[in-house]
Amino acid sequence: MSFDDRGNTPLAGRLPLDLLVVTLVSLAVVALAARNGGGLVRMLLGGAFVLFCPGYALVSALFPQRTARVPERLSTMGFRREETIPLSRLERVVASIAVSVVLVPFIGFLLHYTKWGIRPTTMVPGVAVTTVALAVLAAVRRLRLPPDERFAVASLALARRLDGWVREPDRPVYTALNAFLVVGLVVAAAGVGIAAATSTNGERYTELSVLGSDPDTGTAVADEYPRELAPGEEATVRVGIENREAGARTYTVVTQLQRLDDAGGETCVVERSEVDRFDARLQPGESAERTRTVEPTMAGDGLRIAYLLYVDGPPANPTAENAYRSVHLWVDVGGPSATGANA
């Protein structure tokens, strides 16, 4: 492989400035996401990173030259002819936004079927790697062309070009439609960019789960819960916590055995006893599973084992109402019937 090198201009002087900027923006967003900071800068760079950079890199890789040859099949003839058309800078910008809207979700689709999955810690690097790779490919394709055929960004003169593209003096309806399209693109870019930049940590929540064990394989399953216990018999389950918050969290899980009463038409807890408690500190994206054993301290049918999750310590009187997350199981202690499990 060899690059066209007309003249004595060094390679650094021939590197495409626009592709270099796209690469630097992608690397800057990855760095800011890793630091979980940046404020307004991250918001602005994040908008360009999500809604423009990937599409621009792909468009640049597909069209490294100033003009593009578009094949046109004639409906009445059995041959093809090619027509050379100019691809303006403004058209590249519009195409880059449209391609980014498709390309970024496609990257997430591919990540979904990998061992990493779709997470803030994988989506941002995934988009960045794709953008940088496409930018390198685009630079290589440009440098293989003669200098007078390469696309280059000298001066966009955006206001003048935008006015010439939007305004059609003889067709006011078309002018209005073009203006509406431009405004729509600007609004969409601002909305998606700000949402992506200010939500780089993804949806924030903590998942709490209680699983039983398969009697044959011993693996965790969403079934096989203890349903009937003799007095003094212990119940063993697996309690899972997954941190999808913005930062590290210290969790406390309080386990209570509760007796309920339907008196007055409203179900309420008439007796509760704490039977277990444990802590766990998890980083963002980290999960933990604890095997916990409880021994009921009261007997009766329809008792509830409630698992109450708190962040940074529980209150003096833990209840399902003041818990951050809660899961419960139904169990009969000393009774012949089973009522199952609910969460």
Strand partners, 177: none
> Tens of pLDDT along 108-140?
888 888 777 777 678 888 898 999 999 999 889
Q: What are the structural domains of the chain? A: 11-198 (no CATH), 205-342 (2.60.40.10)
Identify the band that residue 195 occupies on the pLDDT scale cut at 50, 70 and 90: low
| pTM for this entry | 0.46
Please give the pLDDT value at position 64.
84
> Tens of pLDDT along 233-246?
888 899 999 998 87
Q: Higher-confidence residue: 328 or 182?
A: 328
Identify the band that residue 303 occupies on the pLDDT scale cut at 50, 70 and 90: very high
Q: Rounded to an integer, what is the distance from CA 55 to the centroid of its chain?
A: 18
Please give the pLDDT value at position 68.
59
Find the DSSP H helices in the chain.
Answer: 11-14, 17-35, 39-51, 53-62, 89-112, 120-143, 158-166, 172-198
- pLDDT above 90 coverage of the chain, percent: 21
249 near 283, Cβ under 8 Å?
A: no
223 phi, psi to nearest 5 deg: -170, -170
The string of DSSP letters for 233-271 reads --EEEEEEEEEESSS-EEEEEEEEEEEEE-GGGS-EEEE
Question: Which amino acid would we find at residue 67?
Answer: T
> Tens of pLDDT along 17-44?
888 888 888 888 888 777 665 566 667 7
Strand partners, 292: 237
Q: Which of 58, 207, 33 is nearest to 125 (CA)?
A: 33
Distance CA 208, CA 292 (A): 14
Distance CA 30, CA 179 (A): 34
Cβ burial of 335 (10 Å; 0-12, 13-18, 19+) is: middle
Please give the pLDDT value at position 152.
72
CB neighbours of residue 105 within 10 Å: 10
Mean pLDDT of the chain, nearest integer: 77
Please give the pLDDT value at position 205.
81
Place of tokens 């495409």: 16
